[in-house]
Amino acid sequence: MKRFAMETVVGFFVVIGIICIGYMTIKLGKVTLFGDDAYRLSARFTSVAGLRVGSPVEIYGIDAGTVEHLTIDSDKSMAVAEMKLKKGIKVYDDGSAAIKTSGLIGDKFIKIDPGGSGELLKPGSWITETSAPLDIEDLIGKYAFGDVTKKPNTDQILK
């Protein structure tokens, strides 16, 4: 009888351990079992240099989703970034998306300005106002080899 009680206790802890491992796998793997609590928007950029699948999407500096797919739109000769945004995040048709760098040489992310005076974008819609990332390496190369041109000061021109 004592052996049966010991086996029952060990079996109970094994089952609890397997349940905990399954729960952590689902949570850390960001797997959803019962429906998706997000929707998708897409944006076209002239360049997505440095952006990767899984890169964050931010609105007002707050995590709003991730980049799901990066593809090429051969008809328009542009890169396409498909983003998965959390439900409840509202982006309007006058919103814009830009690829930014976190820090000086940090990872790239998409920063969305949601707008607010237009119509609400439906899942699967396109953000039309976009801007590509600033290429720091290209700017340094231009500066080093003297290709950077100075813009004239407009105050001196007017005088």
Asked whether residue 80 falls in the same domain as residue 27, the answer is no
Main-chain phi, psi angles of 121, to 5 degrees: -75, 135
> What does DSSP say about strands 78-86 and 96-101: parallel, antiparallel, or unpaired?
unpaired
Closest Cα partner for 86 from 44, 146, 30, 16? 30
Based on the fold, state whether residues 66 and 124 are members of the same structural domain. yes
Q: pLDDT digits over 58-98, tens only? A: 999 999 999 999 999 999 899 999 999 999 899 998 999 99
79 shares a domain with 17: no
Mean of per-residue pLDDT scores for the chain: 84
For the chain, the distance separating the N- and C-terminal CA atoms, rounded to the nearest angstrom, is 103
Total structural domains within the chain? 2
- Give the range of the structural domain holding residue 63, as residue numbers without chain letter: 38-133
In terms of domains, do 21 and 42 share one?
no
pLDDT in tens, 38-65: 899 999 999 888 899 999 999 999 999 9
52 and 122 both lie in a single domain: yes
Please check whether residues 59 and 74 belong to one and the same domain: yes
State residue 156's pLDDT score. 47
Q: Is residue 158 part of a domain?
A: no
Share of the chain above pLDDT 70, in %: 86
Residue 138 lies in a domain: no
- The verdict on 24 and 43 lying in the same domain is no
Is the pLDDT at 150 greater than 80? The verdict is: no
**Whether residue 48 sits in one domain with residue 123:** yes
Same domain, residue pair 87 and 109: yes
> Is residue 83 one of the residues assigned to a domain?
yes
Tell me how far apart the alpha carbons of residues 29 and 124 are, in angstroms, rounded to a whole number: 24
Regarding whether 121 and 73 lie in a shared domain, the answer is yes
- Within this chain, do residues 15 and 92 fall inside the same structural domain, yes or no? no
pLDDT of residue 151: 59
pTM above 0.85, yes or no: no
CA distances to 36, 65, 98, 113, 156 from 125, rounded to whole Å, are 17, 16, 16, 15, 47
Query: Is 147 contained in some domain?
Result: no
Min mean pLDDT across 19-23, 103-107, 118-122 is at 103-107
